[in-house]
């Protein structure tokens, strides 16, 4: 492993941390900065293309909801496997668990394609997969209604 690859891997891990921490706190601009301009962001309930679509989606999730509200959301990242695909791209799979003040909410994994943009590594494509959600998951219910 070269020093360049070690640096790339740490930059990717940094972006994953920033994505989760800023998303949990609804810091929209910092969250969006984790994506390429033309990023694709998908799950079972949304399919977004580009930063503007992601921004609109975040704005919709920050407003009032018909479902229960929580005081905090925390994404916890566990295993992260990074496969470099040359000097400017990487395929990444990362497990996550989500907790709120009401307890465990859901868990799954991200399937990502990262791209180097200047000196940063950004999410070019993210597929959010959910393996488990509690029956009254606040997160799943709120996103399904958007």
Is the pLDDT reported for residue 20 higher than 80? yes
Give domain limits for the chain: 3-144
More confident: 142 or 70 = 70
Is the pLDDT reported for residue 93 higher than 90? yes
Is the pLDDT reported for residue 28 higher than 60? yes
What percent of the chain has a predicted confidence (pLDDT) above 70? 89
Q: What is the mean pLDDT of residues 23-46?
A: 95
Q: Please state, in angstroms and as integers, the Cα–Cα distance from residue 133 to each residue in 24, 83, 111, 123, following that order.
A: 17, 28, 18, 24
Domain 3-144 has CATH 3.40.50.2300: no
Q: Sorting pLDDT into bands at 50, 70 and 90, what band is 137?
A: confident
pTM across the whole model: 0.91
Q: Please state, in angstroms and as integers, the Cα–Cα distance from residue 7 to each residue in 12, 15, 16, 81, 85, following that order.
A: 9, 12, 14, 15, 14
Q: Sorting pLDDT into bands at 50, 70 and 90, what band is 146?
A: very low
């Amino acid at each position: 492993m070269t020093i360049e690859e070690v640096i790339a891997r740490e930059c990717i891990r940094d972006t994953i941390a920033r994505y989760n921490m800023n998303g949990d706190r609804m810091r929209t601009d910092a969250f969006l900065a984790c994506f390429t301009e033309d990023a694709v962001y998908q799950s079972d309930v949304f399919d977004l293309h580009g930063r503007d679509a992601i921004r609109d989606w975040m704005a919709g999730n920050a407003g009032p909801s018909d479902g229960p509200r929580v005081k905090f959301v925390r994404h916890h990242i566990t295993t992260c496997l990074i496969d470099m695909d040359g000097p400017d791209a990487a395929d990444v799979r990362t497990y996550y668990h989500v907790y709120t003040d009401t307890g465990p909410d859901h868990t799954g994994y991200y399937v990502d394609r990262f791209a180097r943009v200047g000196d940063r590594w950004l999410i070019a494509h993210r597929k959010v997969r959910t393996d488990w959600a509690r029956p009254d998951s606040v997160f799943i219910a709120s996103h399904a209604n958007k």
